[in-house]
Structure 1
């Protein structure tokens, strides 16, 4: 009887523990069910038209199942720097939503992620572990109404720095309002057919970021269809020339080509880009000269970035063409290797910003004339740039006087300029000689190969028809 009583007591205690455990509130992020609980875990801030939910760095592993009370305010939710391996479907709301999920180690995406919040405007999934296998149109579909899935209202989608080497053809099927797409740092080395089809399908796309992907060229047929594209970022790729296909982007206003191994800036590279307003050509380590008429087609260009190019030492006087119809207002030429700047290069009085710091400039009449034409708001800055003048002393460029225009003011300048020109000519000559030598070596190799092949065929022919000679092993005499 005692044993049975003990068993009953133990069983009753176990039942009590089970019931007690089930009644305990679960404080993990996956089972948030009340606004108070969410705002205890995260920071909730209410503004007149905005509900700000900051859940960054909160050791979350799942998304909650209900939004905090926000009274139809726009929701700006940040979940950055958590560990959310699988991103589950978001809770329901009819208000506008912006959500950031960067640096969350996301690998998997549930179907219909955003179908409970059709009015989502901004999605940031950058710096995660998403692959092409996790991307499909059903992951970004809207609510199911009248036998079809409605679209979501997203206009900005950031997929930068994931593991996406290609895009599914129908990925953007439910995102007709998409205007900004960021694909930077995904290793998309080639825009294959399905990726091209996916990008072309975004009829409203205005801003495209393809930076840091290892691209060497662009498909012209794709760009022809991107008639609304206003900005494209192609920095940190492997392009050795400015892509001719860019001429198809007639509406383009901003072009970024920084940190590409581009070899040449010359006439014709920017043909067709008549609406370009801003051009960035920073960190081009292989460029040493801007040739005549390079920027001539860019009649609407307002801002030019051409800095941090370590070998850029020559600007042809007519690099912008000889007409005075340029719209340039901002020019940045910092940290190059410029010795002098032609005084006829630009319409200097029209510039609002002109920076050319940290160049090995020689004090010259060109620089003096430029300073006299620049606006006072530019020349009043006395922190730089500087140039080398008499006795190798450093002078503030905006403090130069007309003495630099006198003959023999700085004989070394003409010497250095001539030396630089000679060096450029020598470089061109050496490249030409190297190419000729390579062609010569190639021809010699081909001739030797052909001669060896001919000799081999002849030798085989002789062996095939020669008389077989046998030797008697006893006498060593040949037997014919």
Structure 2
């Protein structure tokens, strides 16, 4: 009796924090480990549990039960744990959660239940009692829907993670949740975004709808998302968007529309996105970008247009965002005519764009735009398709030196043909004797000075070269 009294007296003299740590370790469940450095954490992960422990330390602030074999959560499954903030149940075999299973966890702020493939149904009262819940993770379960009123008590909820389930529509339960800031719904089977799917989400900053089956977005579907900053709509089945799809999203900084089936880009889509910094339009089927599309994107830094069907990008379309830091244009069938001369100059001046292979015209097909030479005649660009050495002499080749050498080449070829016409029978078989080759070469070399003089006179008379050009070429 004296020993017990002495122990209690000593314990009473200990600081409250020390007592809490001692109680945490002392009440630790079997097959679990408990640490109490700053707060009481109960670690029961990877313990092979098929049932919950009968008791947990009442001081517990975090309980980790992931990667066990739990199948069933009864009512008040965890008892009363007023200090519990984080509960982790990821990677179990949970198939049924009794309504009120989390009663007694009045201060829980984060509940993780991801990767429970047998959870296909949730009762309206599943989360009863969790009035302070801020983050809920239901990712990679087997949910087809959730009741509309399931979050009626979770008014403080900020982050909802429901990616990789089987939702065919955006859960109606999230409507009006004015404190939600992050919603993860990627890799579901959502087919449409209705006009009322996202109503009342005035605090939302992050919305991920990528890798769904969305093919329709209704008018004004995003009208309440006035604080949205990051929006993922990539890898869906969108072939068109409402004219004012993103109206009012003036705080948006990143918009991903890549991996859809868009053919045209309307100038009305992005008119309100004055703070947009990154825009993905890659991996679509774009043929045309309407003039004025980017005119209000004064904050744009990165633009992805790669992997589309674009053949041209007129300066009038691109001009307002000429100060871009990153522009991705590869994997498009570019027609490298004079409409892209500005782009080549921009590439050379700023060194921020590369890999723009030309698909046409045939004279430059396979070349990168950076290697295409654009000629000018009286200040007007001449398309590479017109720069053909077999065309009449009135057409210009890219440079003065090339023009000069081209005419010399043609005159030499004519002389050679005349000599070859007087040669022996071997010429008819397409071959030359070495002696004949030497004679022809010598004949051509002997007339070079006359040809150069002839060329100079012709070009000078037409005003295409100056005397200094002639002297430099000779």
TM-score interval, smaller chain: 0.5 to 0.7
Mapped to 2, the partners of 1:114 and 1:291 lie a distance apart of 49
Ranges in structure 2 where 5+ consecutive residues have no aligned partner = 1-22, 388-474
Match of 1:215 among 173, 176, 190: 190
Match of 2:288 among 314, 322, 325: 314
SS of the aligned residue for 1:208 comes to: strand
TM-score (ref. length: structure 2): 0.62
Match of 2:68 among 61, 73, 82: 82
Match of 1:298 among 245, 251, 273: 273
Ranges in structure 1 where 5+ consecutive residues have no aligned partner = 1-32, 143-150, 413-480
* 1:351 to 2:320 alignment: no
Residue 269 of structure 1 corresponds to 245
Residue 127 of structure 2 corresponds to 140
Measured against aligned partners, the alpha-carbon deviations of 1:297-322 in whole angstroms (never above 9, x if no partner) come to 3233222122222x2233233323xx
Mapped to 2, the partners of 1:361 and 1:370 lie a distance apart of 12
Measured against aligned partners, the alpha-carbon deviations of 1:323-365 in whole angstroms (never above 9, x if no partner) come to 4553212222233333333334344454333333333334455
* 1:403 to 2:392 alignment: no
**Superposed counterparts of 1:53-452, under 5 Å:** 55-66=44-55, 75=62, 77-87=63-73, 89-90=77-78, 93-95=81-83, 97-128=85-116, 129-132=118-121, 134-137=122-125, 139-142=126-129, 151-190=130-169, 196=172, 198-200=173-175, 202-221=177-196, 223-253=198-228, 254-265=230-241, 267-284=243-260, 286-309=261-284, 311-320=285-294, 323=295, 326-346=298-318, 347-363=320-336, 367=340, 369-370=342-343, 372-373=345-346, 379=351, 384=355, 386-387=357-358, 390-395=363-368, 399-400=370-371, 403=374, 406-410=381-385
Measured against aligned partners, the alpha-carbon deviations of 1:7-33 in whole angstroms (never above 9, x if no partner) come to xxxxxxxxxxxxxxxxxxxxxxxxxx9
Residue 418 of structure 1 corresponds to none
How far has the Cα of 1:281 moved from its partner? 0.8
Mapped to 2, the partners of 1:366 and 1:60 lie a distance apart of 68
8 Å Cα contact 1:233/1:255 also seen in 2? yes
How far has the Cα of 1:115 moved from its partner? 3.4
How far has the Cα of 1:108 moved from its partner? 1.5
How far has the Cα of 1:107 moved from its partner? 0.7
8 Å Cα contact 2:357/2:366 also seen in 1? no
Residue 460 of structure 1 corresponds to none
Mapped to 2, the partners of 1:50 and 1:404 lie a distance apart of 75
In angstroms, what is the RMSD of aligned CA positions? Answer: 4.0
How far has the Cα of 1:233 moved from its partner? 2.7
